[in-house]
């Protein structure tokens, strides 16, 4: 297995579901919450060029699956030892027995039988066993939902032609209109299935195009505005003509023959809507060839691109993290955002002038999923003016109207000792780690619990977390009273991502069971105990991994794909 072979991770299948590979979901979450420190990122160096798909009226996909065989994808994912252990065979069977798949197959088989089309019963399986490209778009809930499939039909082209002849005489199959492919006029059909679902399809030559949501199809000559995830009839015609519109949107060349599976995910999915704050990060990709799975990170070049140096981050992060991510930090372009978040112009400018180097985020099993530790670098390690600005910014951005205290927010507690200057504010919230009864003044807490939000500067290192215990632990690390992550990660390699399966399994188990109180959700609680917890225990049995980039890595333009190497620690 090569150095950058994906041992503990893979990528999402063509249709999103609750059974996505566990580790990839965790990786997506890591990238998404990284947006929390994305306040400090630059704007891209130059706008991306307009793509052919944009010109044809097809909005950029959020995900892309390019496969030599759709039916082989689940089995290929299980070729990863980690996934084979954690997903088991039911992952394959799930896609074989999914309600949408079964409903679609049932509808096609009924049409074939009732109209006596003399088509083989194995036609459906043959269709799924062809090379295909699947572009995916997010739905309103942020998950990958709508898709556009382009399939090479090969020898099935002639076999499918009889289906078109029954369109005017079937309750589930209707003709919507036509598209022009060269000199040919190609019919568009809508197939209704599973009572309330439908898809649009058209075929020409050896190409079959399927759109999962008819509402996303539009005619650019109609004057209607283009909506997210929309696909024009012009784009359908281009795809039927053999144009490769998808890879260009991800900065890729057409899939090489030796690559059996290629899965690409846009940062718009992973960053959960915060992509404009982390423009350096473009996406993730997973390729499978005869040597196994390989992973890649896509980066975009920025103005005044800072150097990729994450060593100060790992020196400050306490050992024992579940997962970590680090990105280059550059601040001046985000000053307006800080102002919107509560800082005045002077404070926002002062803070952005002092930010330098890189920033990192880590999650810990003894904390919560929503309370990671942020570590950032400063270019000033001893400045009373800087501390004053930090204190003002903390007071403006942290806290809210509590309802039971005269100041409308709890006071900011400030202390200074040696190289450390720390600010802390109590905030009422039902999701806090401390119960209301344990507060110094329980009657002032407006919810069932509270948290102590903390900000600290230790020399040239800035620390922040909603969990004050993580900030205290990081201060102990900087004072050499607690070992740092630097003691366990590669010393001379560029590591943007760290993953500790054992600690992550503990964190995920805690979050799952906490969200399913046994007295309120007995069914889901028991299901989690029976099915999820054993999988998390298997996850915890794997060793720690560092995801590293080649030495000297630096983005050059848009969608610069850099190989991610998985290093066992």
The answer as to whether 494 is a domain residue is yes
Among 230, 251, 272, residue at a domain's last position: 251
Q: Let me know: does 107 contact 172? Beta carbons within 8 Å.
A: yes
- The b-or-e profile of 432-457 (16+ CB within 10 A means b, else e) is bbeebeebeeeebbbeebbbbbbbbb
CA dist., res. 134 & res. 251, Å (int): 16
Secondary element (H or E) of residue 469 = helix 468-478
Within the chain, what is the greatest distance between any pair of CA atoms? 86
Say whether both 247 and 315 belong to one domain.
Answer: no
Asked if 97 and 199 sit in the same domain, the reply is: yes
Same structural domain for residues 319 and 247? no
Range of the domain at 356: 311-500+543-553
d(CA 554, CA 314): 20
Do 124 and 208 lie in one domain? The reply is yes
Question: Do 481 and 549 share a domain, yes or no?
Answer: yes
Tell me how far apart the alpha carbons of residues 202 and 541 are, in angstroms, rounded to a whole number: 48
Is residue 181 located within the same domain as residue 110? yes
Query: Are residues 369 and 239 both part of a single domain?
Result: no
Is residue 348, in this structure, part of any structural domain at all?
Answer: yes
Which helix (H) or strand (E) element contains residue 87? helix 81-87
Q: Is 320 found in the same domain as 232?
A: no
58 in a structural domain = yes
Q: Identify the pLDDT of residue 12.
A: 33
Counted domains in the chain: 2
71, 212: one domain? yes
**Residue 342's pLDDT is what?**
64
Cα separation, 365 vs 507, in Å, equals 4
At 413 the pLDDT is: 92
pLDDT in tens, 38-48: 333 344 454 55
Q: Quick check: is 298 in a domain?
A: no
**In this structure, how many other beta carbons lie within 10 angstroms of the beta carbon of residue 540?**
16
Strand 217-218 with 231-232, pairing: parallel
Same domain assignment for residues 210 and 315: no
Q: Which of 217, 251, 285 is the last residue of a domain?
A: 251
Is the domain of 236 the same as that of 136? yes
Torsion angle (degrees, nearest 10) of CA 256, 261, 267, 269: 150
Whole-structure pTM value = 0.71
Residue 536 is assigned to a structural domain of this protein? no
pLDDT digits over 188-202, tens only? Answer: 888 777 667 788 888
Cα–Cα distance measured from residue 526 to residue 465, given in angstroms and rounded to the nearest whole number? 33
Are 322 and 212 in the same domain?
A: no
- Are 347 and 337 in contact by the 8 Å Cβ rule? The answer is no
- Does an H or E element contain 90, and which? helix 90-96
Which regions in the chain score pLDDT beneath 70?
1-50, 52, 81-129, 153-172, 194-195, 222-228, 271-279, 302-307, 329-337, 341-343, 347, 381-382, 403-407, 555
Element (H, E) at 562: strand 560-568
118 token code pair: 């003399």
248 vs 325: CA distance, rounded Å = 27
DSSP secondary structure letter of residue 444: G
């Amino acid at each position: 297995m090569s150095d950058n072979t994906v041992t503990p991770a893979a990528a999402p299948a063509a249709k999103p579901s609750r059974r996505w590979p566990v580790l990839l979901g965790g990786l997506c979450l890591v990238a998404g919450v990284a947006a929390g420190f994305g306040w400090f990122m630059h704007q891209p160096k130059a706008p991306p060029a307009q793509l052919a798909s944009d010109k044809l009226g097809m909005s950029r996909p959020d995900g892309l699956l390019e496969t030599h065989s759709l039916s082989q994808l689940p089995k290929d994912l299980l070729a990863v030892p980690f996934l084979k252990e954690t997903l088991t065979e039911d992952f394959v069977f799930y896609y074989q027995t999914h309600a949408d798949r079964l409903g679609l197959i049932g509808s096609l088989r009924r049409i074939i039988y009732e109209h006596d089309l003399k088509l083989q019963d194995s036609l459906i399986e043959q269709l799924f066993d062809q090379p295909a490209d699947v572009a995916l778009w997010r739905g309103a809930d942020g998950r990958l939902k709508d898709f556009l499939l382009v399939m090479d039909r090969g020898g099935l082209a002639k076999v499918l032609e009889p289906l078109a002849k029954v369109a005017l005489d079937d309750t589930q199959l209707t003709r919507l209109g036509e598209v022009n492919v060269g000199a040919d006029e190609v019919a568009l059909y809508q197939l209704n299935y599973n009572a309330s679902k439908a898809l649009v399809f058209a075929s020409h030559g050896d190409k079959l195009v399927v759109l999962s949501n008819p509402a996303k199809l539009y005619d650019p000559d109609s004057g209607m505005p283009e909506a997210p995830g929309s696909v024009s009839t012009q784009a359908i015609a281009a795809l039927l003509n053999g144009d490769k519109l998808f890879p260009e949107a991800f900065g890729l060349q057409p899939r090489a023959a030796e690559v059996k599976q290629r899965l690409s995910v846009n940062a718009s999915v992973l960053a959960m809507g915060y992509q404009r704050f982390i423009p350096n990060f473009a996406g993730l990709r997973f390729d499978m060839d005869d040597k196994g799975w390989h992973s890649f990170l896509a980066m975009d070049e920025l103005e005044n691109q800072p150097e990729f140096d994450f060593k100060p981050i790992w020196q400050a992060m306490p050992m024992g993290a579940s997962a970590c991510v680090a990105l280059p930090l550059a601040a001046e372009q985000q000053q307006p955002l800080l102002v919107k978040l509560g800082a005045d112009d002077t404070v926002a400018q002062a803070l952005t002038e002092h930010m330098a180097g890189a920033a990192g985020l880590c999650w810990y099993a003894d904390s919560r999923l929503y309370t990671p530790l942020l570590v950032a670098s400063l270019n000033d390690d001893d400045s009373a003016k800087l501390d004053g600005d930090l204190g003002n910014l903390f007071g403006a951005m942290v806290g809210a109207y509590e309802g039971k205290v005269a100041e409308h927010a709890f006071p900011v507690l400030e202390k200074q000792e040696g190289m450390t200057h720390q600010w802390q504010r109590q905030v009422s919230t039902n999701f806090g780690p401390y119960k209301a009864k344990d507060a110094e003044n329980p009657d002032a807490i407006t919810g069932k619990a509270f948290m102590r939000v903390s900000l600290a500067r230790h020399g040239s290192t800035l620390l922040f977390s909603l969990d004050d215990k993580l900030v205290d632990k990081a201060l102990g690390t900087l004072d050499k009273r607690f070992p740092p992550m630097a003691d366990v990660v590669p010393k001379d390699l560029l590591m943007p991502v760290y993953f500790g399966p054992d600690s992550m399994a503990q964190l995920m188990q805690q979050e799952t069971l906490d969200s399913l109180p046994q007295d309120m959700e007995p069914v889901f609680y028991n299901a989690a105990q029976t099915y999820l917890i054993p999988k998390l225990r298997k996850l915890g049995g794997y060793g720690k991994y560092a995801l590293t980039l080649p030495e000297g890595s630096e983005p050059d333009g848009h969608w610069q794909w850099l190989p991610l190497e998985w290093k066992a620690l």
